[in-house]
């Protein structure tokens, strides 16, 4: 059984697993029409999946204002309803979008925009505070980061947020935010195919939680063998940062071969492949909190079920590194 985590120095207690709410935002796109969502989703099934997750002990949900151009926050807020106080809600700001046309249309890293974005997120989520507020622009200039960190401290003082984090894969940027008293975490990519030793070392050194996006390699580590045919799915036209789906017509054969080579270890002790991928993350560091995406009750049940089985062993981790030659 994997145990609960405390988000950095914040004292905020969360289940060892969070649920990532990008997919449940449904379809949206950039100004050129390129998909940014995960194709069509059924809102009623999303709400049922959130309820099932709550019943199975999941107390942490990660969304962003921009997912589905506001739709993910609305669906999550509706699903949580009266149970809002029982959970820890993380959302993000920094991207600009049009809710009506569901289009991403810019970015804003200014310190004045934070409050505007937060006000809109609170309304969509139907709450008066956000537990973990995350800056979404992973490559923004560190000087902007320092000003935003100070703006977040002010929001903490006002009781509008409890803690904050930068969503970035760059340890130097994460360290800029960590200088703030109420910075509790960094959100970054981590899965068995994409290790992040420097970021995990930084989390250890600075006492941050490591919130892990793409823990299932966007479905490949849950058994997906090819890019979705749905042209509204970002994996069918992957941007450069989206790894593993090749040019969108097929999954990257090298990734599939490597995942096949890990299958026996990841599915040990009756785990499904997805549960094994989450177990690798927990074994990697006790600071990790993977946030797998979901779009159905069945996925919610399977992913939440990983908590019962706990982490892989240290020997299994070493074996995996040997197979992947790292
Ligand atoms: N900060 C950022 O910039 C950023 C970037 C990416 C993600 N995130 C966050 O991280 C979360 C998760 O990362 P991710 O969206 O990259 O993807 P992921 O968690 O690696 O993969 C999620 C996808 O895998 C499939 N899946 C999940 N559980 C499954 C199961 N048990 N069996 C079979 N398939 C399963 C689902 O898609 P299908 O059913 O369609 O295959 C699901 O949407 C997001 O929801 C979001 O909250 C943040």
Confidence band, pLDDT 50/70/90 cuts, at residue 247? confident
Cβ(289)–Cβ(60) under 8 Å? yes
Atom 7 (ligand 1) nearest CA: 213
Per-residue pLDDT reduced to its tens digit, 151-181: 999 999 999 999 999 999 999 999 999 999 9
β-strands 161-167, 209-213 pairing: unpaired
- What's the CA-to-centroid distance between 22 and ligand 1, angstroms? 7
What atom in ligand 1 is closest to the CA of residue 219? 24
Asked whether the beta carbons of 291 and 322 are under 8 A apart, the reply is no
Q: Examine the residue annotation and report whether 67 is marked as an active-site residue of this protein.
A: yes
- pLDDT tens digit sequence for 92-135: 999 999 999 999 999 999 999 999 999 999 999 999 999 999 99
Which atom of ligand 1 is closest in space to residue 295's alpha carbon? Answer: 43
Mean pLDDT (the chain, rounded): 96
DSSP characters over 257-326: HHHHHHHHHHTGGG--HHHHHHHHHHHH-TTEEE--B--SHHHHHHHHHHHHH-PPPHHHHHHHHHHTT-
pLDDT for 70 beyond 90 = yes
48-74 burial, b at 16+ Cβ within 10 Å, e below that, comes to ebbbbbbebebbbbbbbbbbbbbbbbb
Between CA 229 and CA 217 the distance in angstroms is: 18
The answer to whether the CB of 116 falls within 8 A of the CB of 146 is no
pLDDT digits (tens, 9 = 90+) for 252-306: 999 999 999 999 999 999 999 999 999 999 999 999 999 999 999 999 999 999 9
How much is the pLDDT for 250? Answer: 85
Q: Label residue 249 by pLDDT band (50, 70, 90).
A: confident
- What's the CA-to-centroid distance between 295 and ligand 1, angstroms? 9
Can you tell me the mean pLDDT for 134-152?
A: 97
Asked if residue 129 lies in contact with residue 160, where contact means CB atoms within 8 angstroms, the answer is yes
* Predicted local distance difference test score (pLDDT) of residue 229: 85
Q: How confident is the model at residue 216 (pLDDT cuts 50, 70, 90)?
A: very high
Would strands 12-14 and 209-213 be described as parallel, antiparallel, or unpaired? unpaired
187: Cβ below 6 Å to ligand 1?
yes
Asked whether the predicted pLDDT for residue 64 surpasses 90, the reply is yes
Task: Identify which of 56, 138, 185, 216 to mutate to test ligand 1's pocket (most ligand atoms within 8 A of the CB).
Answer: 216
Given a cut of 90, whether residue 320 has pLDDT beyond it is yes
The SS3 call for residue 144 is helix
User: And the tokens for 263?
Assistant: 């299958």
Look at the alpha carbons of 118, 123, 125, 127 in this order and tell me if their dihedral is positive or negative. positive
Is residue 2 predicted with pLDDT exceeding 90? Answer: no
- Our answer on whether the CB atom of 62 is closer than 6 Å to any ligand 1 atom is yes
Contact 221, 192 (CB under 8 A): yes
How many angstroms separate the alpha carbon of residue 160 from the centre of ligand 1?
28
CATH of span 5-323: 3.20.20.100
Distance from Cα 292 to the centre of ligand 1, integer Å: 5
Q: Do residues 56 and 41 touch, judged by C-beta distance below 8 A? A: no
Please tell me whether residue 109 adopts helix, strand or coil conformation. coil
- Residue 1 has a pLDDT of 79
Nearest-10 Cα torsion for 219, 134, 112, 73: 60
In this prediction, residue 211 has a pLDDT band, given cuts at 50, 70 and 90, of very high
Task: State in Å: Cα 185 to ligand 1 middle.
Answer: 19
Q: According to the model, what pLDDT value does residue 265 have?
A: 98
Q: What is the pLDDT of residue 86?
A: 97
Which residue puts its alpha carbon closest to atom 29 of ligand 1? 299
Q: What is the pTM for the complete model shown? A: 0.98
Q: Which residue owns the Cα nearest ligand 1 atom 9?
A: 213
Nearest CA to ligand 1 atom 41: 219
Average pLDDT over residues 31-53: 97
Query: For the chain, what are the domain ranges?
Result: 5-323
């Amino acid at each position: 059984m994997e145990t609960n985590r405390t988000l950095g120095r914040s004292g905020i207690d969360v289940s060892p697993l969070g649920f990532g709410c990008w997919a449940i935002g449904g379809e949206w796109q950039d100004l050129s029409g390129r998909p940014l969502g995960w194709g069509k989703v059924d809102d009623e099934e999303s709400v049922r999946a959130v309820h099932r997750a709550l019943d199975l002990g999941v107390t942490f949900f990660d969304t962003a204002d921009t997912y589905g151009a506001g739709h993910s926050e609305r669906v999550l807020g509706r699903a949580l309803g009266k149970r809002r106080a029982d959970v820890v809600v993380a959302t993000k700001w920094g991207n600009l979008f049009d809710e009506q046309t569901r289009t991403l249309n810019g970015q804003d890293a200014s310190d004045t925009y934070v409050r505007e974005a937060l006000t809109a997120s609170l309304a969509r989520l139907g709450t008066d505070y956000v537990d973990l507020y995350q800056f979404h622009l992973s490559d923004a200039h560190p000087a902007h980061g320092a000003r935003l960190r100070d703006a977040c401290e002010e929001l903490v003082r006002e009781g509008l947020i409890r803690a904050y984090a930068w969503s970035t894969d760059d340890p130097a940027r994460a360290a800029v935010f960590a200088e703030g008293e109420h910075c509790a975490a960094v959100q970054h990519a981590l899965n068995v195919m994409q290790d992040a030793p420097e970021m995990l070392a930084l989390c250890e050194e600075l006492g941050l939680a490591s919130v892990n996006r793409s823990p299932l390699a966007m479905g490949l580590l849950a058994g997906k063998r090819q890019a979705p045919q749905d042209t509204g799915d970002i994996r069918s036209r992957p941007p450069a940062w989206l790894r593993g789906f090749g040019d969108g017509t097929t999954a990257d054969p090298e990734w599939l071969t490597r995942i096949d080579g890990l299958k026996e270890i990841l599915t040990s002790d009756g785990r499904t492949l997805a549960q094994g991928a989450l177990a690798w993350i927990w074994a990697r560091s006790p600071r990790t909190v993977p946030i797998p995406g979901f779009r159905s009750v069945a996925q919610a049940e399977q992913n939440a079920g990983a908590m019962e089985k706990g982490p892989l062993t240290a020997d299994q981790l070493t074996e995996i590194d040997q197979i992947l030659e790292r």
